[in-house]
Amino acid sequence: MAITFTPTPSAGQTFTSGQKTWTWNGTIWKATPTILATSLSSFNAAMPSGSIIQTVVSYYSTNADLTTALTTNDSVPQDSQGTLVFSQPIIVMNSSSKVLLNVIGFGGCGVQFNIALFRSGNTNALNVVSTQCYGSNVGGAFALAYLDSPAALSATYTVRVGCTSGYYPRLNGSASARQFGGAAATTFTLQEIKG
Taking only the tens place, the pLDDT of each residue in 150-160 is 988 899 999 99
More confident position, 61 or 135: 61
- The pLDDT-based confidence of 42 (bands split at 50, 70, 90) is low
d(CA 68, CA 86): 14
User: Does residue 52 contact residue 191 with C-beta atoms inside 8 Å?
Assistant: yes
d(CA 68, CA 155): 24
Strand partners, 188: 58, 103
> CB count, 10 Å around CB of 188?
24
- Over the stretch 59-84, which tens digit does the pLDDT of each residue have? 999 999 999 999 888 999 999 999 99
More confident position, 142 or 164: 142
The pLDDT of residue 134: 66
If you average pLDDT over residues 92-110, what whole number do you get? Answer: 91
Percentage helix, strand, coil, to 5, in the chain? Answer: 5, 45, 50
Q: What are phi and psi of 43, to 5 degrees?
A: -65, -45
Res. 38: pLDDT tops 70: no
Spell 154-184 as b/e; 16+ CB within 10 A means b. ebebbbbbbbbeebbbbbbbbbeebbeeeeb
Domains detected in the chain? 1-34 (no CATH), 48-193 (2.60.120.1340)
Spell out where the chain has E strands.
Answer: 14-17, 20-24, 29-32, 52-60, 83-91, 98-108, 113-119, 127-131, 140-148, 154-163, 170-171, 186-193
- The pLDDT-based confidence of 161 (bands split at 50, 70, 90) is very high
